[in-house]
Each structure stands twice: as C-alpha cells, then as structure tokens.
Amino acid sequence: QQQVKQSPQSLIVQKGGISIINCAYENTAFDYFPWYQQFPGKGPALLIAIRPDVSEKKEGRFTISFNKSAKQFSLHIMDSQPGDSATYFCAARYTGNQFYFGTGTSLTVIP
Amino acid sequence: GAVVSQHPSWVICKSGTSVKIECRSLDFQATTMFWYRQFPKQSLMLMATSNEGSKATYEQGVEKDKFLINHASLTLSTLTVTSAHPEDSSFYICSALEFGEKLFFGSGTQLSVL
C-alpha cells in the first residue's frame, strides 16, 4: 500500500512558469512532510519541509502548501528555471524515524 | 544543511566479491541511519534501518546475510554487499537522521557487478 501518493509522474514547464507537484496521504499520524530534489546520479537533497500545524511555508522560490483536512500537500516552484530540472520526491514521517516517500516527479523546465 | 558523506561514488567489481560502502554524518551525530536502493527512474526502496550500537532492522525481502550493515559509531554506518552478483547492481543511497527529524542523504553509490 502506497502511504504517500504523488502526482504527476512527469511535468514539463516553460522557463519562468510555476511547477506544481502534489502529494496525498492517509495516515493522520504523519507529523513532518519534507520535499527532496534529486539530480541524476546523486542522492536526494532536502529542499523544504513543513509540519501539519502550518498551512504554508515559503523558502525562496519554493513553497509548500499544506491542507490538513484534505490530507494533501503540494510543492510550488515559482519562476521555474532549467536548473530546477530534476526529480522531486515528497515524503511523510511517522513516529520519529519512519519515512515514506512518494514515487517521484520528473520535472523538465524548457528554456 | 547537514552533510552526509558516502563513499565510494561508484564501484565496479567481479561477481562473487564483496563491496563495502561507507556513510558518514560529517557535522552531526546520527543515532539512526537508513540504507536505500534505487532503480532507474524509481523511488527509494528502504533496505534497512540501522541504529548505533544495535543490529539493523531489515525490510521484508532484504537478505540480511547478503547486505551486512554495521553502525558502530554515531557518525558511521557501513553496508557490505557480500558475494555480489549482477542482480545486485544498483544505486545505493544512505541517509542519516538529524535531531530525530531532518533526513539527510549521501550522494549515493553506483554498484556495477560484472
């Protein structure tokens, strides 16, 4: 059973546009929701994270929107750049050290 | 962010040999580290959770005798792939938990078994 469902699987955005990646979960015991960025041949890098008591968190061009009642959260990348082309994973943490990852979204930003 | 160092970045070995991969948390102590396997264009597959000073907890289907994990200190965990075969070829990634919340990943190791 997929604990965290991520969509879309792939996304193509024009340079300067907004990239939006969505994740949904079922387990209300999840207490921490990070997003990771992964370039080919590299390990994932922590991008931004949010706790369920906050509805939005912004860091630079990256924003997480969190909807606790809908059990959904999303990553918004403003002014998308070709350098943002990577695979993005959402995740959810359960009881301290169990992390569940989404299936990943391959983002391509075209010039 | 915190730094997790993983070595080697890539390794090529002959079938039947053993390969050791090291994962170090450079600027924090990690009581818990994780090992993942990732196939091309797929998500992270958790192999095992290692806690400093105790035996690793393996996920269902992961052979503990093939994938030996040692977490002997608060900054070092190792994964040894014993008697490696071509089907073990994969991208292996470690991660370390900082302050019990933030998860930081190593840069990964591409293993190719000939």
Reading chain B (114 residues) residue by residue, the pLDDT tens digits are 789 999 999 999 999 999 999 999 999 998 899 999 999 989 999 999 998 888 899 999 999 999 999 998 999 999 999 999 999 999 999 999 988 789 999 999 999 999
pLDDT, position A2: 72
pLDDT, position A17: 98
Asked whether the beta carbons of residue B44 and residue A93 sit closer than 8 angstroms, the reply is: no
| Residues linked to residue A38 through DSSP beta bridges, in sequence order | A87
Across the interface, of B32, B44, B97, the residue whose CB is closest to A101 is: B44
In this prediction, residues A42-66 reach a mean pLDDT of: 96
Tell whether A94 is within 8 A of chain B (Cβ).
no
CA dist A26 and A36 (Å) reads 20
Percent of chain A with pLDDT over 70: 98
Closest chain A residue to B48, measured at CA: A98
Closest chain A residue to B1, measured at CA: A46
Asked whether the beta carbons of residue A46 and residue B100 sit closer than 8 angstroms, the reply is: no
Over 70: is that where the pLDDT of A1 sits?
no
In this prediction, residues A10-36 reach a mean pLDDT of: 96
CA dist A66 and A78 (Å) reads 17
ω into A44 cis (within 30 of 0): no
Distance from CA of A97 to the nearest CA of B (A): 7
Q: How far apart are the first and last CA of chain A?
A: 38
Q: In chain A, how many H helices and how many E strands?
A: 0, 11
Residue type, B87: E
pLDDT, position A99: 93
pLDDT, position B53: 83
Across the interface, of B41, B42, B93, the residue whose CB is closest to A43 is: B93
pLDDT in tens, A70-91: 999 999 999 999 999 999 999 9
pLDDT, position A95: 76
- CA R_g for chain B: 13
Residue type, A62: F
For A73, the token pair is 């959260």
Confidence of residue A96 (pLDDT cuts 50, 70, 90): low
For B9, the token pair is 């970045």
Asked whether the beta carbons of residue B34 and residue A99 sit closer than 8 angstroms, the reply is: yes
pLDDT, position B2: 85
